[in-house]
Amino acid sequence: MISPKRVFDTIRDQGISFFTGVPDSLLKNFCAYVTDHVDEQAHVIAANEGNAIALAAGWFMASGEPTLVYMQNSGLGNAINPLVSLADPEVYSIPMLIMIGWRGEPGKPDEPQHSKQGRILTELLDVLQLPWFVLDGSLEEPESVIVRACQVLRKRMMPVVLVVKSGFFSHYSLQKESTTQCCITREKAMEIIVDLLEPGDLVVSTTGKLSRELYEYREARGEGHGKDFLTVGSMGHVSSIAMGIAARRHDRRVICFDGDGAAIMHMGALAVIGQSGLNNLIHVIFNNGAHDSVGGQPTVGLNIDIPQIAKACGYRDARSVTEPDSIKDFMNQLRFANGPALLEVRIKRGSRKDLGRPKTTPLENRDAFMGNLGVVRMEESDG
């Protein structure tokens, strides 16, 4: 394993002083080191990976200096448009160093949402015509790889990628980590809401630990999982999935379980939901001001007024709570109110150490959810 400091110092020695991106679990030790050792003005945790590419382009045009953009390989999809239509040598020719965590690397067990992402990563980089280099923990001198990558980005004036394998970085603990003043955990807040659901209610939950907690709570209650759609991957899109379901099934109430980092990633969805007029959609954002599933790197979630944003977008009702009784009061009021409505629950950071993962596959989850709605799968209806 290589210390984050070695990599950071090498990158800084190459004249790179601005860092931006979206945190990734494989890069969490490096991201933590950057957070502790770079001024806040020169390190921006972006809303999404495409934003990070644009920030890097702006920094270069204002300074003439390349930047470091970090992301998980699943985030490359968000970055493709600005990479091809902004930073590409055939357009504005913007040099930058992109560090990508290789989730789902072939031959290494990972979660199902990373399987194809990992398998096609290098092929996708080739299609995008992006030069790429691999950082592996077995390298004796990773510095030489980083230096070569920086030479290429300057010579060709384009983005160049460092693909980081699992286990490359040694451990580093974030020193600047802050705690919220909230009294309730995400898991407890979720349980309170689930306990108040009506028999016909549907839940659509975001990727990460929230869906894992929901799965385990249904198990603890001795219930099936047909009322829940547990989103894996597609970070930031859970509210749009929920809207699509609510728009088709006005006879069922749809509760969207979202996170602050995910909601911020594609916040434009709030505007569309707010204008939908859907009376059966409740959007719950569990806000701990952190990317909790990938290392606890901070978001701006606790520094913005999410309920006011929602109201400005057209949500019929929106409020923020921190106490269990306030959660119950709002959810009970919504039994008699029109939506779309939004509840922000400000929560503690962190989760249980023994939190498990769903034992069902994504396809099994989809089929159980659709079966609960009485929807016949296309392959069944065609046959």
Interval 316-331 mean pLDDT? 95
Res. 296 pLDDT band, cuts 50 70 90: confident
In this predicted model, what pLDDT tens digit does every residue of 328-338 receive, in sequence order? 999 999 888 78
Q: 178 pLDDT exceeds 80?
A: no
What gap in Å lies between CA 361 and CA 359, rounded to an integer?
7
Query: Which of 105-109, 208-212, 231-235, 340-344 is the most confident on average?
Result: 340-344
Percentage, residues of the chain above pLDDT 70? 97
The whole model's pTM is what? 0.92
354: left (phi over 0), alpha (psi -120 to 50) or beta: alpha
Give all domains of the chain, ordered by start, each with its CATH number.
Answer: 4-164 (3.40.50.970), 186-372 (3.40.50.970)
Backbone phi, then psi, for 341, in 5-degree steps? -130, 155
Closest C-alpha to 283, from 267, 302, 294: 267
pLDDT in tens, 194-212: 999 999 999 999 998 999 9
* 294 vs 71 pLDDT, higher one: 71
* pLDDT value of residue 339: 83
